[in-house]
A and B are shown apart, each in its own frame.
Chain A
Amino acid sequence: GGGNSGTEAGGSVVTAGSTSVQPLSEELAAVFMDANTDYTVDVQGGGSGQGIKSIQEGIADIGALSRNLKNEEKGLVSKEVTIALDGIAVIINKDSQVKDLSLEQIRQIYTGEITNWKEVGGIDAPITVVSREEGSGTRGAFVEITKVAAKDSAGVETDMTDANALIQPSTGSVKTTVASTPNTIGYVSLGSLDDSVKAVTVEGVVPSIENIIDGTYKISRPFIYVVGETVSEATQMYLDFVLSDEGQAVVVDNGFISVK
């Protein structure tokens, strides 16, 4: 590994960072290497923070994030490229009668203002709220779009998620939790949605790739690649590939949303 990509015919690229982006990166890398046999792309995990650290340390060429850069991180990278969007579906237990929620209702549920399903048209049962950990890209995008995070009087943006919400550390565990616990609500990456849980429509719109592309379904998060000062030729080639039609086809193929 290492960032010392060759200047000769071939070269190597190392990407590191978010484990949510990792599977997609693996697929992109595989297709890229099939087309350019002189090049290798190594895909490493580690988490979004680790991705930025790795390009700083010079051990990776590309950092992968599943969330927007924080202000304090902006100075650490020289360029960021959104490579795909991932829809976020709001999910509830299959037994629940509720079919649709408005963004406002979702906000009220997550901030603890609504605590019973009957207030949103369901049965009389307390709502168990499941969220992701602080710092998670999915949560970051979700609270921003649903306005669960809002500027307070001093103008500082705070995440108002109810302190009693159960926190699960991953897409998979949120899904399993919601699937196995009655009266729960959660949110997961659209790509991982299956029939163990029920996705509600938001403002009457079904969460689907088409609806996100045409802008009617509102909740999504970006997958971002960032690079440092020096960008090797191989890295540039790979980035160009990812943003090309061919690369974006891979994105769509794997259930994510193209940025084109």
Chain B
Amino acid sequence: MAVSVQTEDFDAGLEINRLQNARKDTGAVVSFVGLVRDLNEGDQVSQLTLEHYPGMTEKALEAIVNQAQSRWDIFDVTLIHRVGTLQATAQIVLVAVSSAHRGEAFKACEFIMDYLKTEAPFWKKELTQSGERWLDAKSSDDEARERWNQ
């Protein structure tokens, strides 16, 4: 497992390749990249600032990855989440999961994102033409997480 909270950008291709090359019996790598959209709730977004809770955030992410590893037969996970001020179209988060077969990697990758969205201490503040605003948590994210408990 590699978990990182960082201001620097990441290279999704490089991280995917690392997982591929780690074991010769890897059959599948599923990855997710989340990006700063230039549009949110109808407003133009020029930048996004991500705050986190140093210490707790890393622990929360590791706990989520551990849960995924105990639920599915996966080989490895790379999770990188950026913090600080990001411009529109910038990369925010990467989750990459390797496994022998595709079904497990798909499930684990989506599970990690759904839990990250609702359990990991990050907060987003957008800059639009009318100023700064903190984003509200979405009930659709709570629902996405609840699916995994059914």
Bind each other:
no
Interface of A toward B, CB cutoff 8 Å: none
